[in-house]
Structure 1
Amino acid sequence: MKILLIGATGTLGSEVATALEKSGHEIVRASRRGPVRVDMDDHASIDALFETVHDLDAVVCCAASGSLTRLDSDDDITAGLQGKLLGQIHLLRRAMRHLRDGGSVTLTGGVFDRLIPGASFTAVVNTGLEAFVEAAAIEMPRDLRVNIVSPGWVAETLASMGPEVRKSLDLEGTRGTLAADVARAYVEAVEGGAQGQAFRP
C-alpha cells in the first residue's frame, strides 16, 4: 500500500514508519519540517497536502498531541483542541476524498491508566476523538475505514521528561510502552479490517 504518514519524524511516528515499511508498504513521510510538510494546527496546510500527494491507500496520523494543563491554570487549552481534535477531524474529512476505494485512516488518541493532575482537558480531546471515530465509521463511503490508536504513556516520551518532571506529574514508577510495541497497533489498524475501533496497545 501507499501510505501517507503524518508525524513521521516524531518518536512514535518514526517507529510506525519502520513497522509499516517492514510490512512492505510505501511510506510518504509528512511533518512540519521536511520535503512533505503539514501542520495539524493549520487546516489550509492539510488541504494543501492532499493537493500534492495522490493515489493513497491509507493515511496514518501520529502528529497530533495535547499538553497537560491543570484545571486552575490560565494556560491556553485551545492548542490541543485545534491540533489534536479538530485537526484530525479535518484530516479525515479531506482524506475521504483522496483515498482509493477500500482505504483507511488511522488517527491517534490516548488513554491514561490512572488520572493525574492536568489530564482533564486531554481527556476531553481523547474521549472526543474516540467517540468521533466510532460515529464517523458508519458514514464512510466506498468501503473506507477509520480507526484510532489510543496508547498510554510511551516509554521514550516518559524518559525524555526527566525525573523532576515525572515527579511533578505523579508519574514516578510509570514505565510506559515502547514506541516500537505501540507501532504494531497501527500496522494492525492499517492492514486489518477493523472499522470504528479504538486500539489500546
Structure 2
Amino acid sequence: MKVLIIGANGTIGKLVKQTLAPRHDIIEAGKTSGQYQVDISNESSIRQLFEQVGNVDAIVVAAGDVHFGAMKEMTEEQFKLGLNSKLLGQVNVTLIGQHYLNAGGSITLTSGSLSHHPTFGGTNFSTVNAAVDGFVLGAALELKQDRRINVVSPAVLAESWHVYGAAFPGGESVPGAKVALAYQRSVEGFENGQQYRVW
C-alpha cells in the first residue's frame, strides 16, 4: 500500500514508519522534515500536500500541537493552539484527504489518554483528544467505498516518559512498539470507527 504518514519524524511517527515500512510504500510528511512539508493548522498547506502526493491507500496523522499549562493562567490564544492544530488539523486532513483516498483505504488519527485520564495542566489536551475521538465516531459513518477511519489513543510513551512523566503522578508509560501496533491494526486491518486505547 501507499501510506502517507504526517508527522513521520516524530516519536510516534518514527515507530509507525518502522512498523509499516517493510510491507508498504511510505510517504513521509512533516512540518519541517520529510519528503513533503505540511502545516496541518493551515488548510491550504494540507491541500498542497495532497495535490503533490496524489491518491494514497492510507493516511496516518501523528502530528499536532497542544498547549500544556495551568488553566488559571491560560489565555484564549493558548487554548486555540490545540483546537487549530491537533483537532482542526486532523479534521482538515480527513476532510481533504478523503478525496485522495483509494477505495478500501483508511485514515488513522491520533488522540490520547488525557481524554479519560486528565492531569493538572492538561485541559487543552483533554478537550482536544475527546473531540478527535468524537469526530472519528461520526466520520466513520460517512466514508464511502469501504473507506475506514480510526483513532489511536495512547498514554505517554516510555520513550517520552523522561520528559512528561512528572505530570502524571502514579501513571504508567506504554512501550512505543505497542502503540505502533495499534496504527498497524488500523492501516492493515478491517475495522472502522474504532478507538484503539493503548493505556
Q: TM-score, normalised by structure 2?
A: 0.92
Q: Does 1:49 align with 2:49?
A: yes
1:89-109 CA-partner distances (Å, limit 9, x unpaired): 000011110111111100000
SS class of match (1:188):
helix
Whether the aligned pair in 1 keeps the contact of 2:29 and 2:36 (CA below 8 Å) is yes
Per the TM alignment, residue 172 of structure 1 is displaced from its structure 2 partner at its CA by 4.3
CA distance in structure 2 between the aligned counterparts of 1:62 and 1:198, rounded to whole angstroms: 15
DSSP-derived class of the 2:72 partner: coil
Q: Which amino acid aligns with 1:43?
A: E
Q: Does 1:143 align with 2:143?
A: no
User: Partners of 1:45 and 1:62 in 2: how far apart?
Assistant: 16
**Unmatched 5+ stretches in structure 1:** none
Match for residue 82 of structure 2 among 80, 83, 101: 80
Query: What 5-or-longer segments of structure 2 have no aligned partner?
Result: none
Instruction: Please give the per-residue CA displacement for 1:60-110, whole angstroms capped at 9, x wherever unaligned.
Output: 000124232322113411111001001100000111101111111000000
8 Å contact kept, 1:69–1:77: no
Partner of 2:25: 26
Distance 2:147 2:195 in 1: 16
2:30 maps to a residue whose letter is: S
Q: What is the root-mean-square deviation of aligned Cα atoms in Å?
A: 1.5
Deviates more, 1:54-63 or 1:175-184: 175-184
| Contact 1:68–1:119 (8 Å) recurs in 2 | yes
Q: Note if contact 1:4-1:60 (Cα within 8 Å) is conserved in structure 2.
A: yes
Q: 1:126 and 2:129 equivalent?
A: yes
Aligned length: 194
For the residue of structure 2 that corresponds to 1:104, the secondary structure is strand
The answer to whether the 8 A contact 1:59-1:104 is kept is: yes
Equivalents in 2 of 1:102, 1:123: separation in Å?
Answer: 31
Please give the secondary structure, in 1, of the residue aligned with 2:109. Answer: strand
2:179 — aligned with what?
182
Q: What CA deviation, in whole Å up to 9, does each residue of 1:114-160 have, x standing for no partner?
A: 33111222111111111110011111112111100010111122223
Which residue does the alignment assign to 1:191? 188
| Shift in alpha-carbon separation, 1:192–1:180, aligned structure 2, 3 A | same
SS at match of 1:66: coil
The alpha carbon displacement at 1:193 in A equals 0.7
Q: Which amino acid aligns with 2:26?
A: I
Q: Within the alignment, does 1:13 sit opposite 2:13 as a pair?
A: yes
Counterpart in the other structure of 2:163 = 160
Return the letter of the residue paired with 1:119.
G
| Structure 2 Cα separation of the partners of residues 196 and 115 of structure 1 | 23
- AA aligned opposite 2:69: T
**Within 2, Cα distance between the matches of 1:159 and 1:65?**
19
**Partner Cα separation in structure 2 for residue 80 and residue 157 of structure 1:** 19
For residues 66-105 of structure 1, the aligned pairs below 5 Å read: 66-75=66-75, 76-105=78-107
- SS state at 1:3 partner: strand
